[in-house]
């Protein structure tokens, strides 16, 4: 069974600085998808960035980028120029490539605080 591990329960960053959130996963599949979701106090899950495992290039979305290390099964999120609005719970998630479902497997989350 696939698992997702986030070893940092809480992180803190100064406004305008850079922070990296860690995620590791375990799977025997060769093709899959990885995601970072943001959950602010409103509790709605917001997709931040996605990575297809078959793509070697790391995904980037504005100030958000990932470091995808397939062999190490590592998928970290880097937030550059942190803003107060980035404060939220961040979840790493895995989804298999094939099969009949699009079930997401989530980690336990990292609570990010942004200090002014």
Partner 1 sequence: DTGVTQSPTHLIKTRGQQVTLRCSPISGHKSVSWYQQVLGQGPQFIFQYYEKEERGRGNFPDRFSARQFPNYSSELNVNALLLGDSALYLCASSFSGQGGDTIYFGEGSWLTVV
Interface positions with partner 1 (CB under 8 A):
4, 33, 37, 42-47, 50, 52, 91, 93, 95, 97-109
Smaller CB distance to partner 1: residue 47 or 113?
47
Q: How far is the CB of 1 from partner 1 (least distance, A)?
A: 10
Smaller CB distance to partner 1: residue 5 or 18?
5
Smaller CB distance to partner 1: residue 99 or 116?
99
* Separation of CA 68 from chain center: 10
Q: How far is the CB of 4 from partner 1 (least distance, A)?
A: 8
Q: Is 72 left (phi over 0), alpha (psi -120 to 50) or beta?
A: alpha
Smaller CB distance to partner 1: residue 50 or 73?
50
Distance (Å, rounded) from C-alpha 95 to C-alpha 107? Answer: 12
Instruction: Report the run of H or E that residue 3 belongs to, with start and end.
Output: strand 3-5
Q: How far is the CB of 81 from partner 1 (least distance, A)?
A: 25
Q: Which two tokens stand for residue 53?
A: 């495992």
Q: How far is the CB of 76 from partner 1 (least distance, A)?
A: 17
């Amino acid at each position: 069974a696939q698992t997702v591990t986030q070893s940092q329960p809480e992180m803190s960053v100064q406004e305008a600085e850079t922070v990296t959130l860690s995620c590791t996963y375990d799977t025997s599949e060769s093709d899959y998808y990885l995601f970072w979701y943001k959950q602010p106090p409103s509790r709605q899950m917001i997709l931040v960035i996605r990575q297809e495992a078959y793509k070697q290039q790391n995904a980037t979305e504005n100030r958000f980028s990932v470091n995808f290390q397939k062999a190490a099964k590592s998928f970290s999120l880097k937030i550059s120029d942190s803003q107060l609005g980035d404060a939220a719970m961040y979840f790493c998630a895995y989804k298999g490539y094939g099969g009949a479902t699009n079930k997401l497997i989530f980690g336990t989350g990292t609570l990010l605080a942004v200090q002014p």
